[in-house]
Amino acid sequence: MGHKSFQDFTRSDCPVTSLPMNRRSLLMGAAAGMVAPGIWTTPLPAAAQGGQPTIVDITRARTEPIPIAIPNMAGTGTEGTRLGQQIAQVITNNLRSSGLFRPVERAAFIQSAEAAAAAPRFQDWRVIGAAALVTGRVDGSGDRLRVEFRLWDILPEQQALGTAYNATASNWRQIAHIISDDIYKRMLGENGYFNTRIAYIAETGPRDRRTRRLAIMDQDGENNRFLTDGQFQALTPRWHPNATQIAFMSYQRNEPRVYLFGLESGRQEVLGNFGGMTLSPRFSPDGRSVVLSAIRGGDANVFVVDLASRRERQLTNSPGLDVSPCFSPDGTQIVFNSDRGGDQQLYVMDAGGGGARRISFGNGRYATPVWSPRGDLIAFTRIARGQFAIGVMRPDGSGERILSEGWSMEGPTFAPNGRVLMFYRETQSRDQRGAGYSARLSSIDIAGFNERQIVTPTDATDPSWSPLIS
């Protein structure tokens, strides 16, 4: 491939005024601000004149990933050097995992990391085919950390981004995720998804006697933490919009009910003492209510529960099972699956109930619908002819596309930018006791490419992607 800057991948210009305020301020040189709890940023002065932001065509980046050089960040002292290497590695892993970037092999680097952090020799990076370069410096003092980061456009030899982060040393990994998001945003024109967490169900034990615990981890599988002890089964975790609370279903005291877990307090509480079995909770976009299903008298209907008053309101009233409700991002509609027509299909109704209309018409049964944060797609599980599939369709049911198929897969969840889905795959057991069974999380681009497995310390099901941690 010839020498290209990332401007050569552009499809359109993107004026600075169109960027969100927190990212626009970094380009415009505004005052310091906080981008995440405990992490403060200040813009770095441009070391070379920057032009207008340019946006890479994501469709082209899927087939021709952007070559980007990410040397180790220069560091002060042993600890600074170590953290500089680790931060650069996390950024490399994040960008590579998206499938849209191709980190240049470090064996090809000509200029040293220390020299590049002081002043890049652009010819040295141009000759190895890099379109962009990431440089930085890490300074540590006690438990405090300062990370300076710059993104360079190689061909025009100009700085595209420059920011300094100040935080406690324990936040180094989150700083790496934030830098990754900044690079993704600057080069692709949409928000990243690296500074996020995944809630999921950690499964252990024999197939016929599984222990299911509520767990969370960073989106790259690091910082795994179990939130419940497994004494009671947990299922279907869902994030609050402010990422400080998780709703989930638990069989505590053999009563299947919806619980709320506070990440800051570490406490869990039952959502309410409602009649019947309550399941499949999801928060409303404003975080003030939870939509769920309740089984009463043999039927399951959709209810919404106000979090302040804990009062419930019934939204559907049909014979059969109405389950897995999910709000649209603007809060005006709810998608759910129902067998009211004799077969399990997807329906969309007004958020206040009523006006339900079927949107799935393909071959098979449809389940676990979830609305994209962008509002343009609904992801689902489809079961047809003994095969499972993860797919997407538009909210009116048109444009159905299958992204991945297999023996058993289920439970799609969108990244906060709507670009990537995560779900779980199961393998068949070799015998009735479940020998050989496993369940693993996978992610895939909404175009159906770059499917990859997410490493977890145990079997894992029911993933739920958090909003950006900010």
pLDDT in tens, 331-383: 999 999 999 999 999 999 999 999 999 999 999 999 999 999 999 999 999 99
pLDDT tens sequence across 130-164: 999 999 999 987 788 999 999 999 999 999 999 99
The number of domains in the chain is 2
As a whole-number percent, the residues of the chain with pLDDT over 70 amount to: 90
| b (16+ CB within 10 A) / e for 324-357 | bbbbbeeeebbbbbbbbeeebbbbbbebebeebe
The answer to whether residue 148 is domain-embedded is: yes
The answer to whether residue 1 is domain-embedded is: no
The answer to whether residue 183 is domain-embedded is: yes
pLDDT tens sequence across 369-393: 999 999 999 999 999 998 999 999 9
Per-residue pLDDT, 9: 40
The answer to whether residue 220 is domain-embedded is: yes
Q: Identify whether residues 107 and 201 lie together within a single domain.
A: no
The answer to whether residue 115 is domain-embedded is: yes
Q: Identify whether residues 165 and 311 lie together within a single domain.
A: no
Per-residue pLDDT, 152: 96
How many degrees, rounded to 5, is the angle at CA 368 between CA 190 and CA 247? 80
The answer to whether residue 19 is domain-embedded is: yes
pLDDT tens sequence across 216-248: 999 999 999 999 999 999 999 999 999 999 999
Measured from the Cβ of residue 57, the count of other Cβ atoms closer than 10 Å reads 14
Domain end, chosen from 188, 211, 243, is at 188
Per-residue pLDDT, 48: 52
Query: What value does the mean pLDDT of the chain take?
Result: 89
Measured in degrees and rounded to the nearest 5, phi and psi for residue 189 equal: 80, 10
Q: Identify whether residues 162 and 280 lie together within a single domain.
A: no
The answer to whether residue 470 is domain-embedded is: no
Ramachandran quadrant class, 71 (left: phi over 0; alpha: psi -120 to 50; beta: rest): beta
- Tokens at residue 136, please? 């930085």
Q: What is the CATH number of the domain that holds 137?
A: 3.40.50.10070
| b (16+ CB within 10 A) / e for 204-221 | eeebeebbbbbbbbbbbe
The domain of 307 spans 197-465
Per-residue pLDDT, 38: 77
Q: Identify whether residues 280 and 384 lie together within a single domain.
A: yes
Q: Identify whether residues 346 and 441 lie together within a single domain.
A: yes
Q: Identify whether residues 245 and 119 lie together within a single domain.
A: no
> Is the pTM for the entire model greater than 0.85?
yes
Q: Identify whether residues 287 and 420 lie together within a single domain.
A: yes
Q: Identify whether residues 202 and 148 lie together within a single domain.
A: no
pLDDT at 95 over 90: yes
Per-residue pLDDT, 164: 94
Mean per-residue pLDDT, 299-308: 96
Per-residue pLDDT, 49: 47
Per-residue pLDDT, 433: 66
* 273 burial type by CB count under 10 A (0-12 exposed, 13-18 middle, 19+ buried): exposed
Q: Identify whether residues 106 and 209 lie together within a single domain.
A: no
Q: Identify whether residues 218 and 338 lie together within a single domain.
A: yes
The answer to whether residue 418 is domain-embedded is: yes
Q: Identify whether residues 75 and 223 lie together within a single domain.
A: no
What confidence category does residue 30 fall into, taking pLDDT thresholds of 50, 70 and 90?
Answer: very low
What's the distance, Cα to Cα, between the start and end of the chain in Å? 38
Measured from the Cβ of residue 38, the count of other Cβ atoms closer than 10 Å reads 11
Per-residue pLDDT, 1: 43
3-state secondary structure the chain: CCCCCHHHHEEEECCHHHCCHHHHHHHHCCCCEEEECCEEEEECCCCCCCCCCEEECHHHHHHCCEEEECCCCEECHHHHHHHHHHHHHHHHHHHHHCCCEEECCHHHCCCCHHHHHHCCCHHHHHCCCCCEEEEEEEEEECCEEEEEEEEEECCCCEEEEEEEEEEEHHHHHHHHHHHHHHHHHHHHCCCCCCCCEEEEEEEECCCCCCEEEEEEEECCCCCCEECCCCCCCEEEEEECCCCCEEEEEECHHHCCEEEEEECCCCCEEECCCCCCEEEEEEECCCCCEEEEEEEECCEEEEEEEECCCCCEEECCCCCCEEEEEEECCCCCEEEEEECCCCCCEEEEEECCCCCCEECCCCCCEEEEEEECCCCCCEEEEEEECCEEEEEEECCCCCCCEEEEEECEEEEEEECCCCCEEEEEEECCCCCCCCCCCCEEEEEEECCCCCCEEECCCCEEEEEEECCCCC
Per-residue pLDDT, 44: 78
Domain end, chosen from 165, 188, 211, is at 188
Q: What is the CATH number of the domain that holds 298?
A: 2.120.10.30
Q: Identify whether residues 212 and 239 lie together within a single domain.
A: yes
Domain end, chosen from 138, 155, 188, is at 188
